Chain A
Amino acid sequence: MPLLRVRDLTVTGGPLTLVRDVNFDVNAGERVGLIGESGSGKSLTSLAIMGLLGEGLSARGEVSLDGENLLSASERRRCEIRGNRMAMVFQEPMSALNPTRRIGDQVGETLRIHQGLSRRAARTAAVELLRRVEFADPERYVRMYPHELSGGQRQRVMIASALSCDPEVILADEPTTALDVTVQRRVLDLLDRLVDETGCALLLIAHDLAVVSEVCDRVVTMYGGRVVESGSVAQIIDEPRHPYTRALLATSTALSVAETSSGANLPSIPGSVPSAGHFPQGCPFRDRCDRRVDACVEMPPTEVHGTRSLACWNPVDDSELVHEEAP
């Protein structure tokens, strides 16, 4: 049985369906990357899994942790699970820390909630946690306020806090996107190492396939609130079959190529992501797709072949991939 099981997860906000019929599993200790452009429903999916959807949004379907459906659980029960068995690292470490509270108190907060630690004990634990996320002088940092830390340091504080109760799964929502390019690598390596050491599962949300391919075992591609393709990193990177995944991959790998051949135009995906509720009927990607066929006016069924799934009427096949890579 998978550790985290997401079945037919649908998030609606009033008349709009923002996430539709999302299915995927995260096994114990597995690292799954959730990719897609902004507006494809990745963050909403992660918030729905945590049960933290904002006012006016509601989730249907199934989100099970170890067989227990969280969507039907009481708020009290969910509070016991959040932070304890399932932790989250947010995109913006600047705003995710309370500006009026000391770092030590915020890192120790999860321990105080779930393990009933005293303030003093939590602070001692916070020192150790900060040491784990590579603060050289943690005794000094626990007494500081968030504004005294740099972005990378704050994100490491968030990671320390997420790890504090030894969760079974960590949801990281674009943990490096808001950081300076120079520290993104360090934070990512740190997250990678700590997930390795603790053996917890990771659901990494990113829009950069390069990041995901490095850290994760499996990739789930979302577009327009749907899962369009999923498979192992090797499968998705080497032979993406959905035109959207292929386009994402092209934009991601082209960056490194562009550095060497200056003047070359960076590839991009034509068009832009429609705003919520304005995706076309049928396949949400069909307006921007260069492989659309008449059938695309209807949503393609998700076909599962072994470890990979695909929802496309006209997928890229292997021969074309080989052909494209040849020159």
Chain B
Amino acid sequence: MTEIGSAPLTGDTMVGGDDVIEDARASLWRRWLRNPSALIGGIIVVLVVASAVISLVWTPYNPLAVDPSHALSGPSLRHLLGTDEYGRDVFSRLMASSQVALFVGFLSVLIATVVGIPAGLLAAERRGATGQVVLRLADILYGFPALLAAVVLAAAFGASKTTVVLAIGISYIPVFVRVTRSNALVVLNSEYVLAARAYGRRPLAIMRRHVIPNILTTIIAQMSLLFSLAVLAETALDFLGLGTAAPAASWGTMLQSSQNYLGNDPLLTVWPSVAIVLCVLGFSLLGDGISELRDVRSSR
């Protein structure tokens, strides 16, 4: 009877405490490297973020510097990706534009999570009238398209990055309400939450200690996916002239102005498009990768 503790009672393999956690961390890293979505997505995201950060302090040329003598010059050693109709360096402008994309993506996802996650947790905890009200409000928001919201906001307050952020952020709130609520419900219905309640844990502490840590991976994956969609929406709004104002660089405005020179220099359209596709692909691959990594972990 005294030796039960040292030997497993069934055939389970026993492994030492801290080593296991390090193993788990190491294997998470290894699985990350082996998962193509997570790996490629991660690399692209790092590149985009790096170019945005570097562009804050250095770009090959000033992205706003006009040089009429070298307008529409095409790719060369001096201008890697060529120049636009005002002779501005396209590569520098692409770099500077990533700031805008990340700024809008980050802030709109922030708005959506700051409002959506607590609302989703509330709806999961109070399944009665309160929860229904939260869900119905989310439904109403869900039925209101982001583009329309942006047009309305731009008409009311003038087109700017702020209106774009608000429009995209608000329109993604319901997504987080739903994702948070459904995942939180799974945890709240688990036996170990019942056990925690039997220990005398209060509802708020259960949320903090059990629910949030367990749904975090799913939420992060969702944030990455919505980040990519936010970037896409941002370029669309800029393209329509509802966002970033004229001289400032953004992928949407670059794409918009390049249309007029499609015959002279078709590459001008290609560069911002490639940047948009890469950025969107990167964040959505990363999101997919994170949810796949999570599935592997939970299936073990």
Interface residues of A (CB under 8 A from B): 50, 52, 54-55, 76, 79-84, 87-88, 90, 92, 95-100, 109-110, 113-114, 130, 134-138, 140-145, 147-153, 156, 158, 161, 180, 182-183, 186, 189
14 additional A-B pairs beyond A113-B199, A153-B9, beta carbons within 8 Å, are A50-B198, A79-B202, A84-B200, A88-B195, A95-B191, A96-B191, A110-B199, A113-B200, A113-B205, A114-B200, A130-B5, A135-B5, A136-B3, A186-B4
Q: What CA separation (Å) do A42 and B44 show in the bound complex?
A: 57
Alpha-carbon distance A186/B196, docked complex (angstroms): 25
| Contact indicator A148/B5 (Cβ below 8 Å) | no
**Residues of chain A contacted by B79 (CB below 8 angstroms):** none
Determine whether the beta carbon of B3 is less than 8 Å from that of A90.
no
A82 touches B213 (CB 8 A): no
- CB-defined contacts of B198 to chain A, threshold 8 Å: 50, 52, 82-83, 87-88, 90
Inter-chain contacts of A161 with B (CB < 8 A): 199
Task: From the candidates A87, A100, A109, A149, name the one contacting B12 in the complex (CB within 8 A).
Answer: A149
- Cα A217 to Cα B12 in complex, Å, equals 36
Whether the pair A151, B202 counts as a contact (CB closer than 8 A) is no
CB distance from B95 to the nearest CB of A (A): 41
Q: Are A136 and B199 in contact (CB-based, < 8 A)?
A: no
B6 at the interface (CB under 8 A from A): yes
Select which of A79, A87, A95, A136 is within 8 A of B192 by beta carbon. Answer: A95
A173 CA to B191 CA in the complex, in Å? 13
B: residues with CB less than 8 A from A are 1-6, 8-10, 12, 14-18, 20, 127, 189-192, 194-202, 205, 210, 213-214, 300
CB distance from A116 to the nearest CB of B (A): 12
Kindly list chain A residues whose C-beta atoms are within 8 Å of the C-beta of B20. 144-145, 148
Which of A110, A153, A186, A189 has a CB less than 8 Å from the CB of B200?
A: A110
Contact B201 A150 (CB under 8 A): no
Q: What B residues does A180 contact at CB under 8 A?
A: 9-10
**A134 touching B5, Cβ below 8 Å:** yes
Q: Do A137 and B200 have beta carbons less than 8 Å apart?
A: no
Contacts of B300 in A (CB 8 A): 147
B187: nearest chain-A partner, CB-CB: A98
A100 and B214 contact, CB distance less than 8 A: yes
Residue of B with least CB distance to A180? B10
**Which of B4, B18, B197 is the most central at the interface, judged by chain A CB atoms within 10 Å of its CB?**
B4
Q: Is the CB–CB distance between B10 and A79 below 8 Å?
A: no
Partner pick for B9 among A50, A87, A183, CB 8 A cutoff: A183
Q: CB-CB < 8 A to B202: which residues of A?
A: 76, 79
Which single member of A55, A134, A189 contacts B127 (CB below 8 Å)?
Answer: A55
Known: A79-B201, A82-B199, A90-B191. A140 touches B10 (CB 8 A): no
Complex partner residue of B201 from A76, A109, A136, A138, CB under 8 angstroms: A109
Contact between B199 and A109 (Cβ–Cβ < 8 Å)?
A: yes
Residues in chain A near residue B15, CB distance under 8 A? 148
Contact B9 A97 (CB under 8 A): no
A96 with B200: CB separation less than 8 A:
no
Instruction: Select one of B9, B18, B194, B200 contacting A79, CB under 8 A.
Output: B200
A83, A95, A142, A151: which contacts B190 (Cβ < 8 A)? Answer: A95
